[in-house]
Amino acid sequence: MKNTLLIALTLLVITSCSKTEEFIDYSEENDAEIQTYLSDNNLDAEKSNSGLYYIIDEQGTGEAPILYDRVLVDYKGYLTDGTVFDESTDDYFDTYLEGLMYGWLEGIPYFNEGGSGKLIVPAHLGYGSSTNGIIPAGSVLIFDIELIYVNYKTENDQDILEYIEDNNLTAEKTGSGLYYIIDEEGTGAQPTESDNVTVAYKGYYTDGTVFDESDDSGVSFNLQQVIAGWTEGIPYFKEGGSGKLLVPAHLAYGNYYYNGIQAGSVLIFDVNLISVN
Average pLDDT over residues 158-180: 98
Average pLDDT over residues 115-135: 95
By the 8 A CB rule, do 235 and 243 touch? no
Say if residue 38 is in the same domain as residue 14: yes
Q: How many domains does the chain have?
A: 2
Q: What is the H or E stretch that residue 231 is in?
A: helix 228-233
Say if residue 140 is in the same domain as residue 194: no
How much is the pLDDT for 49? 98
User: 56-80: per-residue pLDDT in tens?
Assistant: 999 999 999 999 999 999 999 999 9
The single-letter code of the amino acid at 259 is: N
The backbone region for 37, taken as left when phi is positive above 0, alpha when psi lies in -120 to 50, beta otherwise, is alpha
At which of 150, 172, 193 does a domain end?
150
Say if residue 21 is in the same domain as residue 114: yes
- Looking at the chain, the whole-number percentage of residues with pLDDT higher than 70 is 92
Say if residue 174 is in the same domain as residue 126: no
Q: Which DSSP category does 244 fall into?
A: E
What is the chain's mean pLDDT, rounded?
92
Residue 8 in this model has a pLDDT that exceeds 60: no
C-alpha distance across the termini of the chain, in Å: 53
Structural domain for 206, as ranges: 153-276
Q: Computed from CA positions of residues 218, 224, 226, 230, in that sequence, does the dihedral angle turn out positive or negative? A: positive
Give CA separation, 210 vs 22, 157, 158, 214, 260, in Å.
Answer: 54, 20, 21, 11, 11
Give the pLDDT band of residue 99 (cuts 50, 70, 90). Answer: confident
Q: What is the H or E stretch that residue 47 is in?
A: strand 46-47
Average pLDDT over residues 126-135: 92
Average pLDDT over residues 90-100: 90
How much is the pLDDT for 243? 98
At which of 125, 150, 175 does a domain end?
150
Residue 14 in this model has a pLDDT that exceeds 90: no
> CA angle 13-14-17, nearest 5°?
80
Say if residue 139 is in the same domain as residue 66: yes
Average pLDDT over residues 183-207: 97
The 3-class secondary structure across 157-219, one letter per residue, is HHHHHHHHHHCCCCCEECCCCCEEEEEECCCCCCCCCCCEEEEEEEEECCCCCEEEECCCCCE
Average pLDDT over residues 110-133: 96
Residue 7 in this model has a pLDDT that exceeds 60: no
How much is the pLDDT for 32? 98
Give the pLDDT band of residue 12 (cuts 50, 70, 90). Answer: very low
State how far Cα 115 lies from the chain centre: 14
Say if residue 8 is in the same domain as residue 138: yes
How much is the pLDDT for 16? 39
By the 8 A CB rule, do 196 and 247 touch? no
User: 24-49: per-residue pLDDT in tens?
Assistant: 999 999 999 999 999 999 999 999 99
Nearest to 273 by CA among 214, 206, 227: 214
CA 247/CA 94 separation, integer angstroms: 22
